[in-house]
C-alpha cells in the first residue's frame, strides 16, 4: 500500500482475507483438536495441498481477482520456502499466460534488510499497471 497499490485480497498459509472462516466448535471433542483439524482442512499452504487441488488454487486466485476487480497479482514468497516457490512459479505463469492477469513474483527475506529492494519491485509493478490502465482508457475513447 505504501507503493500506491490498494490491497483488495490476500492469501496466506493460514487463510485469506476476506473469507477467513469461523471455527465452529462442538461440546464433545477437545477444543484444541477441533482448532487444529479446522486449520489442517482449510489451510492454503501448498505443503498441505495435493496436485489434484492445483486447479482449485488457480481458480481461487482468479476468482479473487475478478470479484475484487484487481489489476494484478503479487506473489510473495519467503526466501527458501520451497513449497511457495513451486506454487509461485506455477501460479504466476498460469495467472499471466492463461488468465491474462498481470503478475509479479517477489522474494521476501526473513529480516527487513531487503525491504528497499522489495519496495522497488512493487513500485515498478504498480507503475506498469497504471500505464496499462491509462492505455486502456485511451483506447476506449
**Residue 83 has what pLDDT?**
77
Coil, strand or helix at 73: strand
pLDDT of residue 119: 83
In a domain, 130, yes or no: yes
- Kindly give, in sequence order, each residue whose CB lies less than 8 Å from that of residue 58, ignoring residues fewer than 6 positions away: 91, 94, 95, 98, 99
Q: Could you write out the DSSP letters of every residue in 6-24?
A: ------BTTB-SS-PPP--
Q: With respect to residue 60, please indicate whether it lies within any of the assigned structural domains.
A: yes
Residue 91 covered by a domain: yes
- The pLDDT score that the predictor gives to residue 17 is 58
Residue 7 forms part of a structural domain: no
Question: What pLDDT score was predicted for residue 14?
Answer: 61
pLDDT score recorded for residue 30:
95
Q: Is residue 36 part of a domain?
A: no
Count of domains forming the chain: 1
- Give residue-wise pLDDT tens across range 72-82: 888 887 778 77
> Given this model, what pLDDT does residue 103 score?
87
As a residue count, the chain comes to: 141
35 belongs to a structural domain: no
pTM score of the predicted model: 0.68
CA distance to 78, 96, 104, 109, 120, per residue, from 14 (Å): 15, 25, 22, 19, 27
Boundaries of domain holding 88: 53-140
Q: Is residue 34 part of a domain?
A: no
Domain assignment present for residue 32? The answer is no
Which segments in the chain show pLDDT lower than 70?
12-20, 43, 49, 51, 110-114
Alpha carbon distance 9, 45 (integer Å): 16
- 8 Å CB contact between 106 and 74: yes
Amino acid at each position: 500500500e505504501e507503493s500506491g497499490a490498494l490491497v483488495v485480497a490476500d492469501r496466506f498459509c493460514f487463510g485469506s482475507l476476506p473469507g477467513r472462516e469461523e471455527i465452529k466448535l462442538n461440546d464433545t471433542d477437545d477444543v484444541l483438536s477441533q482448532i487444529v483439524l479446522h486449520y489442517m482442512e482449510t489451510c492454503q499452504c501448498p505443503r498441505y495441498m495435493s496436485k489434484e487441488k492445483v486447479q482449485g488454487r488457480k481458480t481461487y486466485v482468479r476468482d479473487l481477482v475478478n470479484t475484487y476487480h484487481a489489476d494484478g497479482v503479487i506473489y510473495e514468497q519467503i526466501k527458501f520456502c520451497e513449497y511457495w516457490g513451486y506454487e509461485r512459479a506455477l501460479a504466476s505463469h498460469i495467472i499471466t499466460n492463461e488468465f491474462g492477469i498481470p503478475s509479479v513474483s517477489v522474494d521476501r527475506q526473513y529480516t527487513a534488510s531487503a525491504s528497499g529492494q522489495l519496495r522497488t519491485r512493487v513500485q515498478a509493478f504498480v507503475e506498469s499497471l497504471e500505464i496499462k490502465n491509462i492505455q486502456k482508457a485511451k483506447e476506449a475513447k
